[in-house]
Amino acid sequence: MKKRYVYINDNDLSEDLYCDNRISNRKYTFLNFLPKNLSEQFSRFMNQYFLLIACLQLWSLITPVNPASTWGPLLFIFAVSATKEAWDDYNRYLSDKFANEKQVWVVKQGVKTHIQAQEVHVGNIVWLRENDEVPCDLVLIGTSDPQGTCYIETAALDGETDLKMRVIPSACMGLVPELLHKIKGVIECPSPDKDIRRFDANMRLFPPFIDNDLCPLTINNTLLQSCYLRNTEWACGVAVYTGNETKLGMSRGIPEPKLTAMDAMIDKLTGAIFLFQIVVVIVLGISGNVWKDSEARKQWYVLYPNEGPWYELLVIPLRFELLCSIMIPISIKVSLDLVKSMYAKFIDWDKEMYDQQTDTPALAANTAISEDLGQVEYILTDKTGTLTENRMIFKKCCINGIFYGNESGDALTDVELLNAVDSHNPDVIRFLTVMAICNTVIPMKRKSGTILYKAQSQDEDALVNAAAQLHMVFLNKNANVLEVNFNGVILKYEVLDTLEFTSDRKRMSVVVKDCQNEKIFLLSKGADETILPCASSGQQIRTLTEAVEQYAQLGLRTLCMAWRELREDEYHEWSLMFKEANSTLVDREWKLAEVCQRLEHDLVILGVSAIEDRLQDGVPETIETLRNAGINFWMLTGDKQNTAIQIALLCNFISPEPKGQLLLINGKTEDEVSRSLERVLLTMRITSSEPKDVAFVVDGWALEIALKHYRRAFTELAILSRTAICCRVTPSQKAQLVELLKSCDYRTLAIGDGGNDVRMIQTADIGVGISGREGMQAARAADYSIGKFRFLKRLILVHGRYSYNRTAFLSQYSFYKSLLICFIQILFSFISGISGTSLFNSVSLMAYNVFYTSIPVLASVLDKDLSEKTVMQNPQILFYCQAGRLLNPSTFAGWFGRSLFHAVVVFLISIHVYAYEKSEMEELAMVALSGCIWLQAFVVTMETK
């Protein structure tokens, strides 16, 4: 792994080694805009085709019309696209300029100086005041707090609105502000990356500040770019990553455009029409050359020479190629871009998708894929915060085999539990202590004297508040010293080490020293599957296992609490290993997990907590409606199996027995998973023809084995099943399941609300984020963001259907009008000696290419082929939408045949006029053509009524 060495307060070295803090999100520069934009536009076959046609028209010998008839529309369309790109890039430039020119304080030659943010270099010491924005990634070295702590708001970085505490490294403890101006040292850190949750580095200060001991650094010692300093008078840090090399800068970038099913189909149609055009050109070219040799040379007024150049045979075919080039509509791309932008605005403006409770409107971040909403076949959804409110309420608990809250329905009002607290029951007191201090919660005292808890996890917030209601009040956190008020008695604990929660460990622990008796304890909480196996050998956990199952049957979220007293020598020996693992720069997370496992064993299991997470309003109705529309649902959650099944039943994912049937895929080994998978597949094949509602349930362990060793069988199961419940899955497994369904050519939509859903959302064809209590990470990464899950019904059934049908109409219509005028030209060629003469003049063709773009655009935007009420009441209509008018071969043949019929009509009108008044033939032909086009717009629109 590459490393970077940051020399603290050494301006000469930092300016030479690394870039300055200039931020640039621009896609283009002044010099590369034209070639880069043209390269992007000509990457599409359609644009390459029209460039070829335009270049051929420059050959005066073969062009039957003025080159302006193609060059004009081509330049117009390219100019529109280039102008849009240039405007977007200019806005990015203005945003960058505003950020780069902000004023910040840095230390130069021992003196604080005011400079622009773009002039900050790696190694500079940056000073921040309260409410200042962090200009680059800093390693914190000093704060106004005597304990070396500060608070930051990371909403702009990860969407979390809760304050997070940051601490200065141990090497900088006790340094006064005057010394911070003169501090020297080196920070050894990894090369820039975009992982905002990790920073594995070491710092060494030079004498006289400290000896050469190595001080490990983590993400808790950093202030990342775009965070804000809160509730802290001042803080200072060393710049380690600047400019586009910050963690935020590395994660920026312009997302790759997604290709919709409609775009893919248009490309196929373009290719098919191109092949048809080649056939027409060959036939007409051969016929024209035969007529020229047999008839034209006999006519004295044609003035054909007896002998021509070697390429004479190519002249007539190339003329017909130019005449038939209008078969492929030159304006379709800009027309689609325009109407898709309007569809996105319709979503933004929809008041019925506005969440008044959170003041959150719907937002379409991606303007290019609205029609895919009307073709969704699979929806993969998170549970917590997506289907549920993510408002955790402590409901029940089981402590030392005693169940609390079963009779009253609420453990916090259970008389038995309150009496146990008042009588200082040791097991209950330890259980409440773990609830109160085994967390990362920050207590904030309001002006009124009450305490507000800032928690990164809603589970932790519920546990700490519940402990406070049971008289175990978490009062204060000064550096590593925690203060807890229990029935008027202040208890103090010193946090020695924190074993942080990870998705792999599924638990967190803290090592604390009781300041009253100097004893050292390990306090742990986590999922039952990771805590119960760590229980001491003689402990009976049968009652606790039953409690977990019972609470899961009620749809409650469970956590197990445990503790263990540590010997002092045992802790010191382990602490050295923990410090060594914490200082490594390679595989730090893996080594830390291994060291943590050495301590988390022989635990005394205190009990189980059960937290309720209520369903959002309208979730069951929304899922039932979308399932009736033919859309399949998969629920992907980190919760245990029974909890997920109960939520699925409440949400109408599956039907209860006997109408519904649940098939379980379990196993810890390959053989067990293989047998379970075969049994479920056999049942699925048998019941696939029956109306029974069948779903399968799989946990993360079995899923990992199935995806790795039995992918083909699991893929078959995914095709057969309409509903799946995947439990205990990790963020990477969620993304793998989306890729699995996409590999089966299904159109997928992923919806979630938390940072653990981002990979799933970005992998799916359509990503929808919910602006929930877990922050804005999912909403920022998604194509569409909504305030509540229930708005998904309107997003798909109304906006998705309208967008798809309007785009289908526009695409058909664009091809129709192009084929219509092309067929007229082909028919005319048979009475013009098959010579490649154009029926229409150049001005008419150019006006046609440009003006008639607005007709289908206007018609598609105004078209409402079925009322919203009808679609909502009859969601089965979505089947018609998914079948697709554009994808239906009979439909293709329909507008192909109509365009030929109308071409004959217009041509006959033109010939009739030609017999009486030659000069008016072209004008009347264009009038007749216009009438047919407007008539066809009306007919196609009415066909969907």
Nearest to 319 by CA among 293, 280, 273: 280
Return all residues near 529 (Cβ < 8 A) that are at least 6 apart.
506, 640, 728
Q: How confident is the model at residue 578 (pLDDT cuts 50, 70, 90)?
A: confident
pLDDT of residue 833 exceeding 70, the answer is no
pTM of this structure: 0.72
Query: Which residue, chain included where needed, has tokens 């109409």?
Result: 809
Catalytic residue, candidates 382, 461, 613, 865 = 382
Residue 639 annotated as lining a ligand binding site: yes
CATH code reported for the domain at 389-613? 3.40.1110.10
DSSP label of 180: H
Domains 360-388+615-790 and 389-613 fall in the same CATH topology: no
783-793 as b/e, with b when 16 or more CB fall inside 10 Å? bbbbbbbbbbb
Query: How many CB atoms sit inside 10 A of residue 501's CB?
Result: 18
Q: Is 305 helix (H, G, I), strand (E, B) or coil?
A: coil
pLDDT for the residue 329? 81
Domain 360-388+615-790, classified CATH 3.50.50.60, yes or no: no
Work out the mean pLDDT of the chain and round it to a whole number.
80
Question: 349-378 pLDDT, tens per residue?
Answer: 988 999 888 788 898 888 778 888 888 999
Query: Residue 531 and residue 463: Cα distance in Å, rounded?
Result: 17
Residue 194 annotated as lining a ligand binding site: no
Query: How many CB atoms sit inside 10 A of residue 879's CB?
Result: 10
Q: Is 120 helix (H, G, I), strand (E, B) or coil?
A: coil
Percent of the chain surpassing pLDDT 90: 14
Query: Residue 505 and residue 162: Cα distance in Å, rounded?
Result: 24
Query: Which residue, chain included where needed, has tokens 């080994």?
Result: 669
Helix pair angle (801-829, 332-349), 10° resolution: 160
628-637 as b/e, with b when 16 or more CB fall inside 10 Å? ebbbbbbbbb
Question: 518-576 pLDDT, tens per residue?
Answer: 899 999 998 888 899 888 887 888 888 999 888 888 888 889 999 999 998 899 999 88
Residue 587 annotated as lining a ligand binding site: no
pLDDT for the residue 887? 47
**Lowest-pLDDT choice from 402-406, 619-623, 683-687, 888-892:** 888-892
Do residues 435 and 561 make contact, with C-beta atoms less than 8 angstroms apart? yes
Residue 108 annotated as lining a ligand binding site: no
Do residues 248 and 226 make contact, with C-beta atoms less than 8 angstroms apart? yes
**Lowest-pLDDT choice from 100-104, 420-424, 635-639:** 635-639
Residue 460 annotated as lining a ligand binding site: yes
Do residues 530 and 544 make contact, with C-beta atoms less than 8 angstroms apart? no
Nearest to 531 by CA among 564, 506, 501: 506
Residue 865 annotated as lining a ligand binding site: no
Which pair of structure tokens corresponds to residue 542?
């049968």
Query: Residue 895 and residue 148: Cα distance in Å, rounded?
Result: 74
Q: Is 252 helix (H, G, I), strand (E, B) or coil?
A: coil
Segment 166-180 shows an average pLDDT of 83
* φ, ψ (nearest 5 deg) of residue 383: -105, -65
141-175 as b/e, with b when 16 or more CB fall inside 10 Å? bbbebeebbbbbbbbbbbbbebbbbbbbbebbeeb
Segment 55-75 shows an average pLDDT of 75
Residue 383 annotated as lining a ligand binding site: yes
Question: 742-794 pLDDT, tens per residue?
Answer: 988 899 999 988 777 888 888 899 999 887 555 566 777 788 989 899 999 99
Residue 579 annotated as lining a ligand binding site: no
Residue 501 annotated as lining a ligand binding site: yes
Task: Locate the domains of the chain by residue range.
Answer: 4-21+120-251, 28-100, 360-388+615-790, 389-613
DSSP label of 6: E
Phi-psi region of 109 (alpha: psi -120 to 50; beta: other; left: phi over 0): left
Q: Parallel, antiparallel, or unpaired for β 149-153 and 163-167?
A: antiparallel
pLDDT of residue 144 exceeding 80, the answer is yes
Which pair of structure tokens corresponds to residue 622?
């929304």
Q: Which CATH number fits domain 4-21+120-251: 2.40.50.100, 1.10.260.40, 3.40.50.300, 2.70.150.10?
A: 2.70.150.10
pLDDT for the residue 51? 82
Query: Residue 132 and residue 155: Cα distance in Å, rounded?
Result: 14
Cα–Cα–Cα angle for 862, 867, 873, rounded to 5 degrees: 155
pLDDT for the residue 868? 67
pLDDT for the residue 236? 92
Sequence-ordered alpha helix ranges (H) in 33-67: 33-41, 45-56
pLDDT for the residue 440? 80
Query: Which residue, chain included where needed, has tokens 């603290």?
Result: 8
Residue 382 appears among annotated catalytic residues: yes
